[in-house]
Structure 1
Amino acid sequence: MTQSRSIFLSAGVPDPAAKHFMGEGDTAAISAVISALLYVALGRRRIVWGGHPSITPMIWAYAEALDVDYGKWVTLYQSKLFEPDFPEENARFKNVILTEAVPGDRERSLELMRRQMLSESSFSAAVFAGGMGGILDEYRLFREMAVDAAILPIASTGGASAILAKEIDASRDLSDELDYVDLLFTRLAIDPNEKRGESILE
Protein backbone atom coordinates (compact mmCIF):
# COMPACT_ATOMS: atom_id res chain seq x y z
CA MET A 1 0.00 0.00 0.00
CA THR A 2 1.13 3.56 -0.65
CA GLN A 3 0.69 6.77 1.28
CA SER A 4 -0.79 9.55 -0.80
CA ARG A 5 -1.42 13.23 -0.54
CA SER A 6 -4.63 14.89 -1.61
CA ILE A 7 -5.52 16.54 -4.91
CA PHE A 8 -7.26 19.90 -4.84
CA LEU A 9 -9.92 20.57 -7.46
CA SER A 10 -10.84 24.15 -8.34
CA ALA A 11 -13.50 24.21 -11.03
CA GLY A 12 -16.66 25.91 -12.15
CA VAL A 13 -18.81 26.66 -15.17
CA PRO A 14 -18.44 30.39 -15.98
CA ASP A 15 -21.62 32.46 -15.86
CA PRO A 16 -21.47 35.54 -18.13
CA ALA A 17 -23.93 37.31 -15.82
CA ALA A 18 -21.70 36.92 -12.76
CA LYS A 19 -19.61 39.75 -11.36
CA HIS A 20 -16.48 37.59 -11.38
CA PHE A 21 -16.87 36.37 -14.98
CA MET A 22 -13.47 36.18 -16.72
CA GLY A 23 -14.27 34.62 -20.07
CA GLU A 24 -16.30 31.87 -21.69
CA GLY A 25 -15.75 28.32 -20.56
CA ASP A 26 -16.13 25.11 -22.50
CA THR A 27 -18.78 23.25 -20.49
CA ALA A 28 -18.09 19.93 -22.23
CA ALA A 29 -14.35 20.24 -21.58
CA ILE A 30 -14.90 21.18 -17.92
CA SER A 31 -17.13 18.13 -17.47
CA ALA A 32 -14.57 15.94 -19.27
CA VAL A 33 -11.71 17.12 -17.04
CA ILE A 34 -13.70 16.42 -13.88
CA SER A 35 -14.73 13.00 -15.17
CA ALA A 36 -11.11 12.27 -16.10
CA LEU A 37 -9.86 13.35 -12.66
CA LEU A 38 -12.38 11.09 -10.94
CA TYR A 39 -11.51 8.17 -13.23
CA VAL A 40 -7.79 8.66 -12.62
CA ALA A 41 -7.74 9.55 -8.93
CA LEU A 42 -10.91 8.52 -7.10
CA GLY A 43 -10.05 5.75 -4.65
CA ARG A 44 -6.35 6.36 -5.25
CA ARG A 45 -5.99 9.91 -3.93
CA ARG A 46 -8.31 11.97 -1.79
CA ILE A 47 -9.99 14.76 -3.75
CA VAL A 48 -10.75 18.01 -1.95
CA TRP A 49 -12.83 20.88 -3.30
CA GLY A 50 -15.04 23.79 -2.32
CA GLY A 51 -18.62 23.09 -3.28
CA HIS A 52 -19.90 24.62 -6.50
CA PRO A 53 -23.54 24.20 -7.59
CA SER A 54 -22.59 23.07 -11.08
CA ILE A 55 -19.74 20.78 -9.99
CA THR A 56 -20.98 18.98 -6.87
CA PRO A 57 -23.82 17.11 -8.66
CA MET A 58 -21.36 16.08 -11.38
CA ILE A 59 -18.92 14.63 -8.86
CA TRP A 60 -21.63 12.83 -6.91
CA ALA A 61 -23.06 11.22 -10.05
CA TYR A 62 -19.65 9.96 -11.17
CA ALA A 63 -18.63 8.81 -7.69
CA GLU A 64 -21.78 6.72 -7.48
CA ALA A 65 -20.72 4.81 -10.59
CA LEU A 66 -17.42 3.61 -9.08
CA ASP A 67 -17.20 0.91 -6.45
CA VAL A 68 -15.32 3.02 -3.89
CA ASP A 69 -16.37 4.67 -0.64
CA TYR A 70 -16.58 8.24 -1.90
CA GLY A 71 -17.36 9.42 1.62
CA LYS A 72 -13.80 8.44 2.47
CA TRP A 73 -12.11 9.63 -0.71
CA VAL A 74 -13.87 12.93 -1.38
CA THR A 75 -13.98 15.92 0.98
CA LEU A 76 -16.32 18.81 0.20
CA TYR A 77 -16.04 22.20 1.91
CA GLN A 78 -18.87 24.73 1.97
CA SER A 79 -19.32 28.05 3.72
CA LYS A 80 -22.44 28.25 5.87
CA LEU A 81 -23.13 31.56 4.13
CA PHE A 82 -24.40 29.64 1.09
CA GLU A 83 -26.41 27.04 3.02
CA PRO A 84 -29.78 28.09 1.54
CA ASP A 85 -28.41 27.40 -1.94
CA PHE A 86 -26.65 24.07 -1.31
CA PRO A 87 -27.38 21.50 -4.04
CA GLU A 88 -29.27 18.45 -2.78
CA GLU A 89 -26.23 16.29 -3.52
CA ASN A 90 -24.45 17.86 -0.52
CA ALA A 91 -26.58 15.73 1.78
CA ARG A 92 -25.32 12.58 0.05
CA PHE A 93 -21.66 13.17 0.78
CA LYS A 94 -20.64 11.74 4.13
CA ASN A 95 -17.98 14.30 4.93
CA VAL A 96 -19.14 17.77 3.99
CA ILE A 97 -17.23 20.27 6.12
CA LEU A 98 -19.14 23.47 6.82
CA THR A 99 -17.04 26.53 7.58
CA GLU A 100 -18.13 29.59 9.50
CA ALA A 101 -19.71 32.49 7.66
CA VAL A 102 -19.12 36.21 8.07
CA PRO A 103 -22.70 37.54 7.89
CA GLY A 104 -23.21 39.69 4.82
CA ASP A 105 -19.60 39.30 3.64
CA ARG A 106 -19.27 36.85 0.74
CA GLU A 107 -15.57 37.43 0.09
CA ARG A 108 -14.50 37.07 3.72
CA SER A 109 -16.64 33.96 4.12
CA LEU A 110 -15.00 32.40 1.06
CA GLU A 111 -11.53 33.30 2.28
CA LEU A 112 -12.19 31.62 5.64
CA MET A 113 -13.49 28.51 3.87
CA ARG A 114 -10.53 28.35 1.52
CA ARG A 115 -7.95 28.82 4.25
CA GLN A 116 -9.50 26.07 6.34
CA MET A 117 -9.85 23.79 3.31
CA LEU A 118 -6.24 24.20 2.22
CA SER A 119 -4.77 23.99 5.73
CA GLU A 120 -6.43 20.70 6.71
CA SER A 121 -4.84 18.50 4.02
CA SER A 122 -1.43 17.90 2.51
CA PHE A 123 -1.61 18.32 -1.26
CA SER A 124 0.43 16.88 -4.11
CA ALA A 125 -1.37 18.80 -6.86
CA ALA A 126 -4.16 21.19 -7.80
CA VAL A 127 -6.29 20.83 -10.94
CA PHE A 128 -8.04 23.96 -12.28
CA ALA A 129 -10.85 23.79 -14.84
CA GLY A 130 -13.01 26.60 -16.23
CA GLY A 131 -14.20 28.90 -13.49
CA MET A 132 -14.26 32.61 -12.78
CA GLY A 133 -12.46 34.95 -10.39
CA GLY A 134 -12.45 32.39 -7.58
CA ILE A 135 -10.05 30.22 -9.59
CA LEU A 136 -7.34 32.87 -9.33
CA ASP A 137 -8.11 33.48 -5.65
CA GLU A 138 -7.80 29.76 -4.92
CA TYR A 139 -4.63 29.44 -6.99
CA ARG A 140 -2.87 32.23 -5.09
CA LEU A 141 -3.86 30.85 -1.71
CA PHE A 142 -2.98 27.30 -2.74
CA ARG A 143 0.42 28.44 -3.99
CA GLU A 144 1.02 30.12 -0.63
CA MET A 145 -0.01 27.08 1.42
CA ALA A 146 1.20 24.18 -0.76
CA VAL A 147 4.48 25.47 -2.13
CA ASP A 148 5.73 22.19 -3.60
CA ALA A 149 2.49 20.95 -5.14
CA ALA A 150 1.98 20.66 -8.91
CA ILE A 151 -0.22 23.34 -10.49
CA LEU A 152 -2.34 22.08 -13.39
CA PRO A 153 -4.57 24.73 -15.00
CA ILE A 154 -6.31 22.99 -17.91
CA ALA A 155 -6.34 25.88 -20.37
CA SER A 156 -8.57 24.12 -22.91
CA THR A 157 -11.49 24.39 -20.46
CA GLY A 158 -11.51 28.18 -20.88
CA GLY A 159 -12.64 30.65 -18.25
CA ALA A 160 -10.26 31.73 -15.52
CA SER A 161 -8.23 28.52 -15.87
CA ALA A 162 -7.11 29.61 -19.33
CA ILE A 163 -6.08 32.98 -17.88
CA LEU A 164 -4.20 31.24 -15.06
CA ALA A 165 -2.37 28.96 -17.52
CA LYS A 166 -1.18 32.02 -19.40
CA GLU A 167 -0.29 33.90 -16.22
CA ILE A 168 2.01 31.15 -14.95
CA ASP A 169 3.25 30.17 -18.43
CA ALA A 170 1.97 26.62 -18.02
CA SER A 171 3.38 23.89 -20.23
CA ARG A 172 1.76 23.35 -23.63
CA ASP A 173 0.28 19.97 -22.76
CA LEU A 174 -2.16 21.74 -20.42
CA SER A 175 -3.42 23.70 -23.43
CA ASP A 176 -3.07 21.22 -26.26
CA GLU A 177 -3.68 17.76 -24.80
CA LEU A 178 -7.37 16.85 -25.01
CA ASP A 179 -6.95 13.28 -23.79
CA TYR A 180 -7.50 14.37 -20.22
CA VAL A 181 -7.25 10.87 -18.78
CA ASP A 182 -3.76 10.34 -20.18
CA LEU A 183 -2.78 13.89 -19.24
CA LEU A 184 -3.82 13.45 -15.61
CA PHE A 185 -2.33 9.99 -15.19
CA THR A 186 0.96 11.50 -16.34
CA ARG A 187 0.89 14.84 -14.56
CA LEU A 188 -0.48 13.45 -11.28
CA ALA A 189 2.04 10.57 -11.36
CA ILE A 190 -0.63 7.93 -10.76
CA ASP A 191 -0.08 4.40 -12.04
CA PRO A 192 -3.14 3.20 -14.01
CA ASN A 193 -2.62 -0.22 -12.41
CA GLU A 194 -2.88 1.12 -8.86
CA LYS A 195 -5.92 -0.47 -7.24
CA ARG A 196 -8.64 1.77 -5.90
CA GLY A 197 -9.28 1.96 -2.18
CA GLU A 198 -5.87 0.71 -1.07
CA SER A 199 -3.84 3.88 -0.51
CA ILE A 200 -3.30 5.05 3.04
CA LEU A 201 -4.98 8.40 3.52
CA GLU A 202 -3.45 11.12 5.65
Structure 2
Amino acid sequence: MTRHGAVFLSASVPQPGRRGFDSFDSLLVSSAVHAFVEVVLGRRLLVWGGQPAITPIIWEAARRLEVPYERCVLLYQSAFFRGHYPEANLRFNNWVEVPAVDGDLRASLVRMRARMLSDRPYEAAVFIGGMEGVIDEFDALRESAPGVRLIPLPTPGGVSRELFERAENLPREMRTRTDFTYWLYRLLDIDPSEPRLLVDAGTGDDDSRSE
Protein backbone atom coordinates (compact mmCIF):
# COMPACT_ATOMS: atom_id res chain seq x y z
CA MET A 1 0.00 0.00 0.00
CA THR A 2 1.28 3.47 -0.89
CA ARG A 3 2.05 5.56 2.17
CA HIS A 4 0.83 9.09 1.70
CA GLY A 5 1.94 12.26 3.40
CA ALA A 6 -0.40 14.44 5.41
CA VAL A 7 -2.43 17.30 3.96
CA PHE A 8 -2.27 20.63 5.76
CA LEU A 9 -5.24 22.98 5.91
CA SER A 10 -4.67 26.70 6.48
CA ALA A 11 -8.05 28.38 6.67
CA SER A 12 -9.80 31.08 8.66
CA VAL A 13 -12.58 33.61 8.43
CA PRO A 14 -11.08 37.12 8.19
CA GLN A 15 -12.01 39.55 10.95
CA PRO A 16 -13.02 43.19 10.39
CA GLY A 17 -10.03 45.44 9.91
CA ARG A 18 -7.69 42.54 9.17
CA ARG A 19 -6.03 41.72 5.88
CA GLY A 20 -8.34 39.71 3.63
CA PHE A 21 -11.60 40.93 5.20
CA ASP A 22 -12.62 43.19 2.32
CA SER A 23 -12.46 40.43 -0.28
CA PHE A 24 -13.73 37.30 1.48
CA ASP A 25 -17.10 35.62 0.95
CA SER A 26 -18.21 33.70 4.05
CA LEU A 27 -20.44 31.32 2.10
CA LEU A 28 -17.65 30.44 -0.33
CA VAL A 29 -15.16 29.96 2.52
CA SER A 30 -17.59 27.52 4.13
CA SER A 31 -18.28 25.78 0.81
CA ALA A 32 -14.56 25.41 0.10
CA VAL A 33 -13.83 23.96 3.55
CA HIS A 34 -16.71 21.49 3.16
CA ALA A 35 -15.34 20.43 -0.22
CA PHE A 36 -11.83 20.04 1.20
CA VAL A 37 -13.07 17.82 4.01
CA GLU A 38 -15.18 15.76 1.61
CA VAL A 39 -12.09 15.05 -0.51
CA VAL A 40 -9.47 14.51 2.22
CA LEU A 41 -11.11 13.16 5.38
CA GLY A 42 -10.11 9.56 6.08
CA ARG A 43 -7.93 9.41 2.97
CA ARG A 44 -5.03 11.53 4.22
CA LEU A 45 -4.12 12.71 7.70
CA LEU A 46 -5.62 16.19 7.95
CA VAL A 47 -3.56 18.65 10.01
CA TRP A 48 -4.46 22.21 10.95
CA GLY A 49 -4.07 24.82 13.67
CA GLY A 50 -7.47 24.33 15.26
CA GLN A 51 -9.02 27.59 13.98
CA PRO A 52 -12.34 27.75 15.88
CA ALA A 53 -14.52 28.69 12.90
CA ILE A 54 -13.24 25.67 10.95
CA THR A 55 -13.30 22.95 13.62
CA PRO A 56 -17.12 22.51 13.69
CA ILE A 57 -17.22 22.01 9.93
CA ILE A 58 -14.64 19.23 10.10
CA TRP A 59 -16.28 17.61 13.13
CA GLU A 60 -19.70 17.55 11.46
CA ALA A 61 -18.27 16.16 8.22
CA ALA A 62 -16.57 13.35 10.10
CA ARG A 63 -19.86 12.47 11.79
CA ARG A 64 -21.76 12.55 8.49
CA LEU A 65 -19.16 10.46 6.66
CA GLU A 66 -18.90 8.05 9.63
CA VAL A 67 -15.15 8.57 9.80
CA PRO A 68 -13.57 8.46 13.30
CA TYR A 69 -12.60 12.10 13.76
CA GLU A 70 -9.93 11.33 16.34
CA ARG A 71 -8.16 8.89 13.99
CA CYS A 72 -7.83 11.07 10.90
CA VAL A 73 -7.43 14.64 12.15
CA LEU A 74 -4.63 16.28 14.13
CA LEU A 75 -4.88 19.79 15.62
CA TYR A 76 -2.12 22.01 16.94
CA GLN A 77 -2.62 24.65 19.65
CA SER A 78 -0.25 27.19 21.15
CA ALA A 79 -0.14 27.15 24.96
CA PHE A 80 -0.31 30.95 24.74
CA PHE A 81 -4.10 30.44 24.51
CA ARG A 82 -4.32 27.80 27.26
CA GLY A 83 -7.59 28.25 29.11
CA HIS A 84 -9.25 29.71 26.02
CA TYR A 85 -9.21 26.72 23.67
CA PRO A 86 -12.58 26.13 22.00
CA GLU A 87 -14.26 23.14 23.63
CA ALA A 88 -14.71 21.45 20.26
CA ASN A 89 -10.95 21.46 19.72
CA LEU A 90 -10.35 19.41 22.86
CA ARG A 91 -13.10 16.84 22.40
CA PHE A 92 -10.66 14.05 21.57
CA ASN A 93 -7.04 13.22 22.25
CA ASN A 94 -6.03 14.35 18.77
CA TRP A 95 -4.34 17.66 19.52
CA VAL A 96 -0.81 18.79 20.27
CA GLU A 97 -0.07 21.72 22.55
CA VAL A 98 3.11 23.61 21.70
CA PRO A 99 4.79 25.57 24.54
CA ALA A 100 4.39 29.34 24.38
CA VAL A 101 7.11 31.96 24.35
CA ASP A 102 6.44 33.88 27.57
CA GLY A 103 4.14 36.82 26.94
CA ASP A 104 4.87 36.96 23.20
CA LEU A 105 1.94 36.06 20.96
CA ARG A 106 3.82 36.48 17.70
CA ALA A 107 6.77 34.36 18.79
CA SER A 108 4.42 31.73 20.23
CA LEU A 109 2.60 31.40 16.91
CA VAL A 110 5.90 31.18 15.03
CA ARG A 111 6.97 28.37 17.34
CA MET A 112 3.67 26.53 16.97
CA ARG A 113 3.74 26.78 13.18
CA ALA A 114 7.35 25.61 13.02
CA ARG A 115 6.45 22.55 15.07
CA MET A 116 3.22 21.90 13.17
CA LEU A 117 4.89 22.11 9.77
CA SER A 118 7.93 20.00 10.67
CA ASP A 119 6.43 17.18 12.73
CA ARG A 120 5.52 15.04 9.71
CA PRO A 121 5.91 14.90 5.94
CA TYR A 122 3.25 16.75 3.96
CA GLU A 123 2.28 16.07 0.39
CA ALA A 124 0.10 19.15 -0.03
CA ALA A 125 -1.35 22.20 1.70
CA VAL A 126 -4.63 23.96 0.93
CA PHE A 127 -5.29 27.62 1.81
CA ILE A 128 -8.82 29.00 2.14
CA GLY A 129 -9.86 32.55 3.06
CA GLY A 130 -7.61 33.70 5.84
CA MET A 131 -5.73 36.63 7.27
CA GLU A 132 -2.04 37.35 7.90
CA GLY A 133 -1.42 33.97 9.57
CA VAL A 134 -2.37 32.11 6.42
CA ILE A 135 0.31 34.03 4.55
CA ASP A 136 2.82 33.12 7.27
CA GLU A 137 1.98 29.42 6.89
CA PHE A 138 2.22 29.59 3.10
CA ASP A 139 5.66 31.22 3.28
CA ALA A 140 6.89 28.84 5.99
CA LEU A 141 5.90 25.76 3.99
CA ARG A 142 7.34 27.09 0.75
CA GLU A 143 10.66 27.72 2.51
CA SER A 144 10.88 24.56 4.63
CA ALA A 145 9.27 22.02 2.29
CA PRO A 146 9.64 23.15 -1.34
CA GLY A 147 8.29 19.85 -2.66
CA VAL A 148 4.87 20.31 -1.03
CA ARG A 149 2.03 21.22 -3.39
CA LEU A 150 0.65 24.62 -2.31
CA ILE A 151 -2.99 25.14 -3.33
CA PRO A 152 -4.58 28.49 -2.42
CA LEU A 153 -8.24 28.68 -3.50
CA PRO A 154 -8.86 32.17 -4.92
CA THR A 155 -12.63 32.54 -5.23
CA PRO A 156 -13.50 32.49 -1.49
CA GLY A 157 -11.38 35.64 -1.17
CA GLY A 158 -9.34 36.49 1.90
CA VAL A 159 -5.58 36.29 1.59
CA SER A 160 -5.86 33.00 -0.27
CA ARG A 161 -6.80 35.08 -3.32
CA GLU A 162 -3.48 36.93 -3.03
CA LEU A 163 -1.59 33.69 -2.50
CA PHE A 164 -3.12 32.14 -5.62
CA GLU A 165 -1.28 34.76 -7.67
CA ARG A 166 1.99 33.74 -5.99
CA ALA A 167 1.47 30.01 -6.35
CA GLU A 168 3.06 28.09 -9.19
CA ASN A 169 1.58 25.63 -11.67
CA LEU A 170 -2.07 26.18 -10.78
CA PRO A 171 -4.66 26.46 -13.58
CA ARG A 172 -5.48 30.11 -14.20
CA GLU A 173 -9.17 29.29 -14.77
CA MET A 174 -9.46 28.61 -11.04
CA ARG A 175 -9.65 32.38 -10.50
CA THR A 176 -13.39 32.32 -11.10
CA ARG A 177 -14.37 28.72 -10.36
CA THR A 178 -16.39 27.57 -7.37
CA ASP A 179 -16.53 23.84 -8.13
CA PHE A 180 -14.08 23.23 -5.29
CA THR A 181 -14.58 19.49 -5.00
CA TYR A 182 -13.57 18.94 -8.61
CA TRP A 183 -10.41 21.05 -8.30
CA LEU A 184 -9.35 19.53 -5.00
CA TYR A 185 -9.70 15.96 -6.23
CA ARG A 186 -7.64 16.94 -9.26
CA LEU A 187 -4.94 18.99 -7.55
CA LEU A 188 -4.55 16.72 -4.52
CA ASP A 189 -4.42 13.69 -6.82
CA ILE A 190 -7.03 11.79 -4.82
CA ASP A 191 -9.34 9.34 -6.56
CA PRO A 192 -13.02 9.89 -5.63
CA SER A 193 -13.37 6.12 -5.27
CA GLU A 194 -10.49 5.88 -2.78
CA PRO A 195 -11.82 4.35 0.46
CA ARG A 196 -11.80 6.32 3.68
CA LEU A 197 -9.36 4.16 5.58
CA LEU A 198 -8.57 4.88 9.19
CA VAL A 199 -5.47 7.03 9.53
CA ASP A 200 -3.32 6.98 12.66
CA ALA A 201 -2.94 10.60 13.77
CA GLY A 202 0.09 9.59 15.81
CA THR A 203 -0.67 11.52 18.98
CA GLY A 204 -0.10 8.55 21.28
CA ASP A 205 -1.28 8.80 24.86
CA ASP A 206 -2.32 11.83 26.88
CA ASP A 207 1.27 12.89 27.57
CA SER A 208 1.91 13.54 23.87
CA ARG A 209 -0.43 16.51 23.81
CA SER A 210 2.15 18.87 25.25
CA GLU A 211 5.85 19.18 25.92
Aligned partner of 1:179 in structure 2 is: 179
CA contact (8 A) 2:9 2:125 kept: yes
Identify if the C-alpha distance between structure 1 residues 198 and 74 changes in structure 2 by more than 3 Å, giving closer, same or farther. closer
Q: Gaps (5+ residues) in structure 2?
A: 203-211
3-state SS of the aligned residue for 2:127?
strand
d(CA) in 1 for partners of 2:98 and 2:164? 29
Aligned partner of 1:38 in structure 2 is: 37
Give the drift of 1:2. 2.9
Could you tell me which amino acid in structure 2 is paired with residue 39 of structure 1? E
Aligned partner of 2:7 in structure 1 is: 7
Could you tell me which amino acid in structure 2 is paired with residue 196 of structure 1? R
**CA deviation profile, 1:64-109 (whole Å, cap 9, x unmatched):** 2222222121110010111232111012132110001112211100
Aligned partner of 1:92 in structure 2 is: 91
d(CA) in 2 for partners of 1:100 and 1:132? 23
Give the drift of 1:55. 1.2
Give the drift of 1:160. 0.7
Identify if the C-alpha distance between structure 1 residues 49 and 200 changes in structure 2 by more than 3 Å, giving closer, same or farther. closer
CA contact (8 A) 1:153 1:174 kept: no
d(CA) in 2 for partners of 1:189 and 1:53? 28
Could you tell me which amino acid in structure 1 is paired with residue 163 of structure 2? L
Identify if the C-alpha distance between structure 1 residues 134 and 200 changes in structure 2 by more than 3 Å, giving closer, same or farther. closer
Determine what percentage of the aligned residue pairs are the same residue: 40
CA contact (8 A) 1:8 1:127 kept: yes
RMSD: 1.9
Q: Gaps (5+ residues) in structure 1?
A: none
CA contact (8 A) 2:72 2:198 kept: no
Could you tell me which amino acid in structure 1 is paired with residue 134 of structure 2? I
d(CA) in 2 for partners of 1:80 and 1:199? 26
Give the drift of 1:22. 5.6
Could you tell me which amino acid in structure 2 is paired with residue 191 of structure 1? D
d(CA) in 2 for partners of 1:191 and 1:200? 20
Identify if the C-alpha distance between structure 1 residues 78 and 199 changes in structure 2 by more than 3 Å, giving closer, same or farther. closer
Give the drift of 1:199. 6.7
d(CA) in 1 for partners of 2:29 and 2:57? 11
Aligned partner of 1:162 in structure 2 is: 161
d(CA) in 1 for partners of 2:6 and 2:174? 20
3-state SS of the aligned residue for 1:142?
helix
TM-score (norm 1): 0.92
Identify if the C-alpha distance between structure 1 residues 66 and 94 changes in structure 2 by more than 3 Å, giving closer, same or farther. farther
Could you tell me which amino acid in structure 2 is paired with residue 164 of structure 1? L
d(CA) in 2 for partners of 1:5 and 1:57? 24
TM-score (norm 2): 0.88
CA contact (8 A) 1:3 1:200 kept: no
* Residues paired across the two proteins, number: 201
Identify if the C-alpha distance between structure 1 residues 101 and 199 changes in structure 2 by more than 3 Å, giving closer, same or farther. closer
